[in-house]
């Protein structure tokens, strides 16, 4: 915390555990988010959660007290409005929820876009210069290498589920879960929530794929 007045409050994304209660800073702060978060925060109709008055699309730079903070939207991933914040002077990236440190993806992947996730992580690896990664939940911190590790997990998860389907294993069956677990365990078995959330990650991925195939292509 700081004893200085808070001038900006940046919504990292609209999920309730990271977006509500900002009214505490409303006397001094301007509220900032990605454009896709505005309607979602507005829909909460919550007096404790101010609607952003600065909304950006791809990039916004904020300057305060000689420090620059660069805000990027790098596409759909953990949500469709995730903002990553780079402090270039200290080479720190703040990426809430969407780049977990040593952890599998969140439960059944609500709001998740697998291809967008891979593209987002690749873009960050190629374009942003940082040493320290601060995620939205413990353990903290990570490093730039965390980005590639999470991308590796998403790619491996998708490949293992496809392979299980190709073997003829039924979606979400114990046999499919065991096949995916066996494929991922050597590299990711020690990650947080691996045993508990891997079956949920599989379920979420299968749901997303079935929703995608149900959407008519124009």
Binding stretches for Zn ion (CB under 5 A): 15, 97
Total residues found in the chain within this entry? 218
Sequence-distant (≥ 6) Cβ neighbours of residue 196 within 8 angstroms: none
- Least distance in Å: CB of 84 to Zn ion? 13
Minimum distance from CB of 13 to Zn ion (Å)? 6
- Residue 214 Cβ, how far from Zn ion at the closest point, in Å? 24
Q: Of the two residues 15 and 179, which places its CB atom closer to Zn ion in the complex?
A: 15
Strand partners, 133: 93, 142
The nearer residue to Zn ion, 77 or 179, going by C-beta atoms, is 77
Of 40 and 179, CB closest to Zn ion:
40
Which residue's CB is nearer to Zn ion, number 15 or number 151? 15
In angstroms, rounded to a whole number, what is the distance separating the alpha carbons of residues 193 and 6? 35
Q: Which is nearer to Zn ion, 97 or 149 (CB)?
A: 97
Helix axes 194-214, 144-166, angle to 10 degrees: 70
What minimum distance in Å lies between the beta carbon of 108 and Zn ion? Answer: 13
- What DSSP character marks residue 136? S
CA angle 142, 146, 149 (to 5 degrees): 150
We find the least distance from the C-beta atom of residue 176 to Zn ion, in angstroms, to be 26
CB of 161 within 8 A of CB of 205?
yes
The residue number whose beta carbon is nearest to Zn ion equals 15
Report the candidate in 30, 27, 96, 93 with the shortest Cα–Cα distance to residue 63: 30
Q: Is the peptide bond before 203 cis (omega within 30 degrees of 0)?
A: no
């Amino acid at each position: 915390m700081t004893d200085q007045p808070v001038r900006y409050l940046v919504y990292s994304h609209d999920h309730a555990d990271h977006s509500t209660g900002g009214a505490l800073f409303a006397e001094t702060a301007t509220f900032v988010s990605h454009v896709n978060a505005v309607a979602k925060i507005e829909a909460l109709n919550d007096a404790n959660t101010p609607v952003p008055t600065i909304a950006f699309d791809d990039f916004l730079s904020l300057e305060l007290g000689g420090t620059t903070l660069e805000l990027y939207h790098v596409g759909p991933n953990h949500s469709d409005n995730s903002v990553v914040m780079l402090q270039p002077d200290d080479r720190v990236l703040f990426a809430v929820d969407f780049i977990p440190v040593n952890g599998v993806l969140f439960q059944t992947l609500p709001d998740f876009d697998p291809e967008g996730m891979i593209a987002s992580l690749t873009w960050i690896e190629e374009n942003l210069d940082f040493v320290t990664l601060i995620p939205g939940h413990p353990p903290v911190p990570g490093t730039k290498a965390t980005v590639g590790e999470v991308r590796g997990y998403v790619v491996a998860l998708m490949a293992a589920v496809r392979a299980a389907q190709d073997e003829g294993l039924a979606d979400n069956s114990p046999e499919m879960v065991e096949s995916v677990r066996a494929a991922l365990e050597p590299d990711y078995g020690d990650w947080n929530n691996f045993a508990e959330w891997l079956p949920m990650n599989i379920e979420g991925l299968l749901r997303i794929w079935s929703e995608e195939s149900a959407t008519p292509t124009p």
